[in-house]
Structures are given as structure tokens and as C-alpha cells.
Amino acid sequence: MKKPIIYITRKIPDEILAPYQDSLDFRMWEEEDIPVPRNVLLQEVKEADGVLCLLTENMDRELFENAPQLKVVANMAVGYDNIDLEAARERNVIVTNTPDVLTETTADLAFSLLTATSRRVVEANDYIRAGKWNHWSPYLMAGSDIHGKKVGIVGMGRIGESIARRANGFGMPIMYHNRSRKPSAENDLGATYMDFDELLREADFVVSVIPLTTETRKLFNEDAFEKMKTSAIFINVSRGGVVDEKALYHALNENTIHAAGLDVFEEEPIDADHPLVKLDNVVCLPHIGSASVETRTKMLHLCMDNLLAVFSGEGPITPVNNP
């Protein structure tokens, strides 16, 4: 029988493909660091039965309309705002993501970013590299404490709960805001539910783990930053689109809030000239929440397993839609 054709939008290691090669016929964009150009992707999907894509690909209506054979899109991310789910549903295309395998790794990074931002770790490292460390002094690179401070988690999903577990270890009171109450977070982690505005007013650290949707786009806007404490530290590990970056820049520059740690941006990648990169009270990372070798490997395997499960008739393992 003819094997299903799978188009992979970035070069991935041969060892990942090898176990699946008897069942799936792979075609791949052969660059590791450069996304597939749109015209190439549009051409390749014409024959593809399945696609393994990254969050750099805009899987929009035009793309689905160009893909008459397409049965499944396996997105190598837990977030799927890069995919038009409605267009996929209309064409009966299954979409899968990579939840669970990245939860702990992303929570590790969120906490690293929180500690690095509040204790000025990157700034302090740059200080030595610039040859500026001449003396020890009482307030040299003095930052803000973490232990005992209130963390406000916006978006209490799996990653939010993992961040809360780490916060418990640091002795931080936990507050959260979510579409629905989470009894598990309240009972097991001692988290207190708050409405969004109350959380903004109360939290010392506001951590965004909320997915990007039409409702959450630019949720963190001028109004939200105004409500935060002037000592507040804002951490974003979800999607840049949930932030109005001009308002954030203004809030940081005018000391409306104290500092920010950002793993994600409205338009990625950003370069060294981005206004937020220029501020000393901001730590910027290149969207590396799930970037441990172990976890990225698990994410690729989960994508492959989803593709195989769809074509073997078992049905997807981690679907985000049900066409």
C-alpha cells in the first residue's frame, strides 16, 4: 500500500524519523535554522497527507485550501494559535499539539526567568563582562526578593500549576486567574482565585501563561500595567500577542512597573534594536520555554506518534480539534 506523504517544515534529526520510515513517506524542508518559505510550503502541501509544522508556520485558510489530501497537522508546540482551527475543521483535518511532555520544562524556564529578572542575573553578568566590577558595595546589583512575595498566575493550566508548585517551594503565596476555577490548584497548591483586576493589584509577580485567543489578545495593555504595583515584575512565557508591547515599554520606561522577563514577543524573532531589549530592567529570551534537548526530542516523538496513530486508524493521541 502507498505510504502517506508527510511534509516536515524544518530539518529534524534522522534518528527521530527512522522508527517511522516503514509506515510514513517523509519529505522535509532541509534547513534547521530557517523556516520554510511560504511558497514552498504552499507547493508541498498540495500532495501531503500529513504535515509536521512548527509555531513559525502560519497554517491559515489559504494553506488548507491548497491541501486537498491533508488529513492531519501535527504542531510541534502546545500552543496552536498559528493554526486556523475553523478552516481545518471545515476540511476535516485533525490538528494535534504537544501537551504534557513540555509542562515541567516550561515551568522550569518560567521560574528561571522570574528569578533572573528579580535578582538582575543577566544585568549582573553583563556588568562583570563589561569590566565594571571594581568593589563590593551594599546595594551593588540589589534586586527584589522572591521568597515570601505574592505570585499571580494568569492562565492556570498544566504549566500554570507546575509554576505554582515551584512557587510553593519558594514560600510564595499563590494567586491565580483562569476562565474557570481550578479546585485542584486551590486544594492541592493553596492557590487563591482572583478576578483579573484584583490579581493585577495584589501580585508582586504577574506571570502570563495564558494562550493567545481573540479574547486574550493584548490582555496586558496600558490599563493592566496601570493596575499593577510599581514594584511588580511581569513575566511572559505564553505568547507575545497577549501583550501590548508599546504599553509594556511605556510602563517599564516610566516605572509604572518595575521589571519584565519575556520569553515571547508580538513579532518573532526580535533583534538587538527592539526597544524592550534596550531596557536594563528587562530580560529577553528567544522563545525557549520548552527548549531542553530531552523535551524537544519528546515533542518531536509525540508529533510522529500522532501522525502514525492517525494513519493507522487508531486516532490522534493529543488532538486539539475533533472534526
Q: How many residues bind ligand GLV (CB under 6 A)?
A: 7
Stretch that binds ligand GLV, among 8-16, 42-50, 74-82, 116-124 (CB under 6 A): 74-82
Task: Note if 296 is an active site residue.
Answer: no
Residue 77 found at the interface with ligand GLV (CB under 6 A) = yes
In angstroms, what is the minimal distance from the CB of 290 to ligand GLV? 5
Q: How far apart are CA 25 and CA 7, in angstroms?
A: 9
Between helices 158-169 and 103-118, what is the axis angle to 10°? Answer: 50
Element (H, E) at 53: strand 50-53
Residue 24 found at the interface with ligand GLV (CB under 6 A) = no
Task: Note if 31 is an active site residue.
Answer: no
Question: For residues 51-70, which are near ligand GLV according to CB under 6 A?
Answer: 55
Among 4, 50, 79, 241, binds ligand GLV (CB under 6 A): 79
Pairing of strands 174-177, 5-8: unpaired
Q: How far apart are CA 243 and CA 262, in angstroms?
A: 10
Residue 78 found at the interface with ligand GLV (CB under 6 A) = yes
Q: How far apart are CA 127 and CA 134, in angstroms?
A: 10
In angstroms, what is the minimal distance from the CB of 77 to ligand GLV? 3
Residue 216 found at the interface with ligand GLV (CB under 6 A) = no
Q: How far apart are CA 235 and CA 173, in angstroms?
A: 17
* Alpha helices in the chain, H assignment, sequence order: 14-17, 38-44, 61-65, 85-90, 103-118, 121-129, 158-169, 183-189, 196-202, 222-227, 245-253, 293-311
Residue tagged active-site, from 239, 245, 258, 296: 239
Task: Note if 239 is an active site residue.
Answer: yes
Question: For residues 264-323, which are near ligand GLV according to CB under 6 A?
Answer: 289-290
Question: For residues 92-151, which are near ligand GLV according to CB under 6 A?
Answer: 102
Strand partners for 96: 74, 319
For the annotated catalytic residues, the residue numbers are: 239, 268, 287
Interface residues toward ligand GLV, by CB under 6 A = 55, 77-79, 102, 289-290
